[in-house]
Chain A
Amino acid sequence: MKKSEVPQDDGFLKEEHGRELNYAVGEDGKYTTALSSGWDAKTIALNNALERIEERIADAKQRVLDNKTSPIEYFMEFCRMDVPVLSSYMGLWQWRVKRHFKPSVFRKLSEKTLKKYADVFEIDVAQLKNFDPNS
């Protein structure tokens, strides 16, 4: 890549984030660095991944409303986590976290456990207990 070809396709990086560094060949044939504000090819890839997360969140929300899963799964998706990551934050086995997805089990969870989940998701216990589909 020549220095003049370093893409400036304004992706996600805003003013306060600065730009990212690319390596490119200068006019004299020597390697140098150049800042890039983004490249469409990778913005599209990232957008795709983000869309996929949005779909998963919407899907989890619907299943909470249908009483097929607990709000824990919804907030897990919302925080871009998966079961291994969430169980690691909770210090629980994965099967226990998965069990907490069951609405019947979720309703019987202790205040202490709920508080811990809420802290991990950075929300109030009330938000976890009274699921608001518009949140």
Chain B
Amino acid sequence: MKIDFEHKQSAHCENGVASNLMRFNGYEVSEPMVFGIGSGLLFCYIPFIKLDSAPLITYRAMAGFIFKRFAKRVGITIKREKFKDPKKAQERLDENLKNNNPVGLQVGVYHLVYFPDEYRFHFNAHNLVVYGKDGDNYLISDPTMEKVTTLTSKELEKVRYAKGAFAPNGHMYYPIAFPEKLNLESAVKKGIKHTCREMLAPVPIVGNKGIKTVAKLIRKWPIKKGTKRANHYLGQIVRMQEEIGTGGGGFRYIYAAFLQEASELLKNDTLSALSKEMTEIGDLWRDFALEASRIYRNRSAQTDAYNKVADQLEHIGNRERDFFKKLKTAI
């Protein structure tokens, strides 16, 4: 059986699943809109969580939060289920497919056979949509992929029951109730306010202050941790910023796209100007990544080079502080 489901590629999995499921249910909401309304943009430095033995730096809200906030703000209801028993999880999935209902699943990346080997890490907060079943093959719409694909029931069970941090436990979700008309205007405003609050938070590890904290640390890394670890840490920052799913520039371009769409929706020209500014900030992030990659490619130990990327980062921190102050007053 195959549900008539339109696969549209997106930059990030969670926005993509949300946007595609909304379209299936007759509501056209773009990926940037989902991201902006769900207050996806963030910067957070979490030294006590280690990913691949480097401190975690994230450019977006925690997995699951974006769709949750989006749903609450536009007024839809999502049903979420987790299962202890993998058999039960498959039965419920089959039941939904039979009822012509495509569902979102949270899965682990490591066992996803259609991913390039180089991208397969033990990361458990990936999302995809199942939209049908053909014999033993499930039809998969993974929004980060250009085309649709399939997984056997065994392969699907494996990714649904991946273990480790954020283990999905068969997590399945789909929207069940919709309002007569989506209240996008107020949702957009709420989303923007929330993002401004987080990016301007008076906490040294969050938002613009977090960016500046990391800049300070980068200056110390080569001396305190040695070049090898300093380079590893820098590499991890770049990966979080640019690897699959950010749309480039650590989600800053997606956010700029959101502001552009929001300016038309709210008929607010200031937002359009701010969208341009956000694009510039995204470009600065790209320059930072490029400069950082030069350091670990040359394996150069000059502290000068580290200071240079730290300067860039500090500049970005200041730009984002000014930016979100302006954005806060624009709506």
Contacts and interface: CB of A to CB of B under 8 A. Distances in A.
Same complex for A and B? Answer: yes
Contacts of B308: none
Contacts of B114: 16-17
Interface in B1-55: 9-11, 32, 52-53
Given A12-B119, A23-B254, A80-B121, A48 B232 contact: yes
Interface string A44-69: 11101110100000000000000000
Interface string A28-51: 001101011001111011101110
A27 interface: no
B146 A31 contact: no
Contact of A22 (B11, B118, B145): B11
Interface stretch (A83-91, A95-103, A104-112, A125-133): A83-91
Nearest to B117: A12
A48 B231 contact: yes
Given A41-B290, A48-B231, A21 B247 contact: yes
Contacts of A85: 122, 163-165
Contact of A1 (B10, B119, B146, B253): B253
Given A19-B146, A23-B32, A46 B293 contact: no
A45 B11 contact: no
Contacts of B296: 44-45, 48
7 closest A-B pairs by CB: A18-B146, A31-B257, A23-B253, A88-B163, A85-B164, A41-B293, A42-B242
27 contacts: A1-B248, A1-B282, A13-B116, A16-B114, A17-B115, A17-B116, A18-B9, A18-B146, A19-B146, A22-B11, A31-B256, A31-B257, A31-B260, A31-B275, A35-B146, A42-B243, A42-B293, A44-B296, A45-B243, A46-B243, A48-B231, A48-B232, A48-B235, A81-B122, A81-B164, A85-B163, A89-B164
Given A18-B9, A41-B238, 6 more contacts: A1-B249, A23-B248, A33-B247, A35-B146, A44-B297, A84-B165
Interface of A: 1, 6, 12-14, 16-25, 30-31, 33, 35-36, 39-42, 44-46, 48-50, 52, 79-82, 84-85, 88-89
